[in-house]
Amino acid sequence: MLNLINSTLNLFTPLFLISIGAIITSKSGTLNIALEGLTLIGALFAVIGANLSGSLLIGTLFAIFASVLLASIISLVNSVLKTNPFITALASNMLATALTLIITFSIYNSKGLLRLDIAPLKLIDTLFLGKLTIFLPISIFLYIIIYLLIEKTPFGLELKACGYNPSVLDAFGISKTKLDSIALIMSAVFCALAGSYLSLRQGAFISQMSANKGWYALVIVFLCNSNIKFLIPATLVFASSEAFSNYIQGINNLPSDIALMIPSVFTLIVMIAISYYNKQKQTTIKG
Amino acid sequence: MRKLKGLIDIFLISIALLIGIIFLMSKSPLNSIYQLFIGPLSSPYFFGNTLSHTAPLIISSVGIAIAFRCNLINLGGDGQMYVGALVASLVAIYLAPFGKISILFALIIASLSGAILAFISAYLKVKLDTPELISSYLISIASTYFVSYLITGPLQDPSSNLQSTNKVDFMLEKIYLPSNLSTAIFYALIIAFLFYYIFTQTKFGYENKIIGYNKEFARYGGISVSKNYYISFSLSGALVAFAGGIYIFGNYQSVIKGFSSGIGFSALTISLIALNNPLAIIPIAFIISLVNQGSIMAMQNSDISSDVALLFQAIIFLLITSSTLLGEKKNVKLN
């Protein structure tokens, strides 16, 4: 049982970080499908940075730099070349996959794999919850900051206005493009943190190690109805489904592919349930 | 014409970026570039194989284009293709006593399976407003794992070294030996022309287009948007699954683990570049197939990774909806 709680909390950390990123962009009214790629590129550059400098902290900064760079490219392409934001985001996911594979192949001669030369992220023994990393308290701390930023500051109000009704922003002379870019870049920071957690804890970068977490994060935001208060319980639900998937993989002779199916099926069911609930609510209001 | 000029610009930018990256990554960049662009054209064998991979790409891109035309994004291509291929091979093996006609039945039932998968997303979109983008992708992940489980578990061919199912008994006729090129390419061309006709000459094609431009206007004009969503998205899934079947009967003979991974995204790229025009899809699918084949050759004969093909597609993908580059006043609308 303790094991299950512990692995849930460890799976919770990256998912939570990405979800914070997802909720920032969802506040500004965009469905951010680039999360997956931003996380992946962060995971690779965390290892590259840590190997170059010998410090996990600098590795994480590298990751943030790389993800923010990718996010800036996306928002630049979106605003200057006026592309369809969905397609650009999908493209950035492809770009991230391709770049991680090419970089690991050409520079390190092992396609899709890059080992960390220094000791991976330290696990700290806590009394009741098992071994955890420093990323968990950091993510909670950042969550509180983002909560305050969105709920209590003028910037948060602008962001929310952008999501509700962009034409209001026009009236006040605030640029929607600029807000969108800021939101995207902020979410990139969180994806980078999640990515560095994944690779620095694993002690290696493995291709596709973001494992659709960016997509699950979108559904988590869906689940808490973009209300930032419910983000922790919503993420916990998802993390426990992943922990469960890992758990039964070890315990029974269940084929791994079937166990790996669980999170996506679960996500799908949750999404259908929320859509159903929202629809019901809508019709009640109308009726 | 301005659009065409824009498209050529985007192609040139992408190729330039690709060449730039090869120069950064490769120790013998000229050889790599030669292998990438000229390699697949260097012998009849490679050329035939490039064409042979073009056939399913054309079919699946037409499928994706149907959804795009009414503003739906079918992100489930990988899964639909994988399921389609598995269903096709199972049906073909089961009906093998009936002879070559089994291929036809296999393809029909494979298309049905893809249609069902896609229909779920369309149904959720219409009834519950669930974004089809996410639901089709999640269904694709789940079905991909499930098919992989079947291929490596109960349905694995014990005599094969690859992780794959039993081989089907009949294949489409080869027309350009020693390469893999089969009559599939003709079927792909027929499908492209058929859908060009449907898109431009029929009521369905017209309604489909109007919904893409403006859903509310279409509704006001008496077009049933939900009916069109059902038909378009199911048809989209059906064609992608059909293409999965074509991979079996035209190229691979058995379902190999993970073969469809990324092809759904290639199909998205192709139909975006072709601006959803089935006739334009034909040459563009050939170019993408050429780059795919070239990247495999470049990996074997020089020192760059085959993922440069993915990178190339990603760069095009990034730029292709740009209304600035395509010289349009308004954004290309998709959602």
* Confidence check: pLDDT of A250 > 80: no
| The residue count for chain A | 287
Tell me, what's the ipTM?
0.86
Among A212, A232, A208, smallest CA distance to A221 is for A232
Q: Note the pLDDT of residue A277.
A: 87
How many helices and strands, by DSSP H and E, does chain B display? 13, 0
pLDDT in tens, chain B (335 residues): 667 788 888 888 888 888 888 888 788 888 888 888 888 888 888 889 899 999 999 999 999 999 999 889 999 999 999 999 999 999 999 988 888 889 999 999 999 999 999 999 999 999 988 888 889 999 999 999 999 999 988 888 887 777 888 888 888 888 888 888 889 999 999 999 999 999 999 999 999 999 988 888 988 988 899 999 999 999 999 999 999 999 999 888 888 888 888 898 889 989 988 888 999 999 999 988 988 888 888 888 887 888 888 888 888 888 888 877 777 655 444 44
Q: Note the pLDDT of residue B1.
A: 61
Instruction: Using the structure block, give the residue that is written with the tokens 């006043």.
Output: B329
Chain A residues whose CB is inside 8 A of the B126 CB are: none
The Cα B151–Cα B257 span in angstroms is 7
- B171: CB partners within 8 A, 6+ apart: B182, B249, B250, B253
Q: Note the pLDDT of residue B328.
A: 65
Q: Which amino acid is at B303?
A: D
Average pLDDT over residues A212-227: 86
Q: Note the pLDDT of residue B332.
A: 47
Q: Cα Rg for chain B, rounded, in angstroms? A: 20
Which CA distances in Å does A89 have to A95, A267, B60, B80, B147? 10, 21, 22, 22, 28
* Confidence check: pLDDT of A287 > 60: no
Q: Which B residues, 245 through 274, put their C-beta within 8 Å of a C-beta on chain A? A: 265, 268, 272
Domains along the sequence of chain B with CATH = 2-7+42-320 (1.10.3470)
Cis peptide leading into residue B44 (ω within 30°):
no
What's the distance, CA B67 to chain centroid? Answer: 13
Q: Which B residues, 16 through 55, put their C-beta within 8 Å of a C-beta on chain A? A: 21, 25-26
Q: Which B residues, 146 through 165, put their C-beta within 8 Å of a C-beta on chain A? A: 146, 148-149, 152-153
Per the model's pLDDT, the better-predicted residue between A264 and A226 turns out to be A264
Write the residue in B124, B146, B314 that is nearest to A91 by C-beta: B314
Q: Note the pLDDT of residue B2.
A: 67
Q: Note the pLDDT of residue A181.
A: 92
Q: Note the pLDDT of residue B335.
A: 43
Q: Which amino acid is at A66?
A: A
Rounded to a whole number of angstroms, the distance from the CA of B174 to the nearest CA of chain A is: 33
Q: What is the 3-state secondary structure (H, E, C) of B120-177?
A: HHHHHHHHHCCCHHHHHHHHHHHHHHHHHHHHHCCCECCCCCCCEECCCCCCCCECCC
Q: Note the pLDDT of residue A222.
A: 83
What's the distance, CA B111 to chain centroid? Answer: 14
Which CA distances in Å does B132 have to A269, B69, B98, B125, B229? 14, 14, 39, 6, 10
Rounded to a whole number of angstroms, the distance from the CA of B315 to the nearest CA of chain A is: 7
| Contact yes or no for A272 and B124 at CB 8 A | yes
Q: Identify the contact set of chain A against chain B, taking CB-CB distances under 8 A.
A: 31, 33, 77, 80-84, 86-88, 90-92, 94-95, 97-99, 101-102, 105-107, 111, 212, 215, 218-219, 255, 257-258, 260-261, 264-265, 267-268, 271-272, 275-276, 278-279
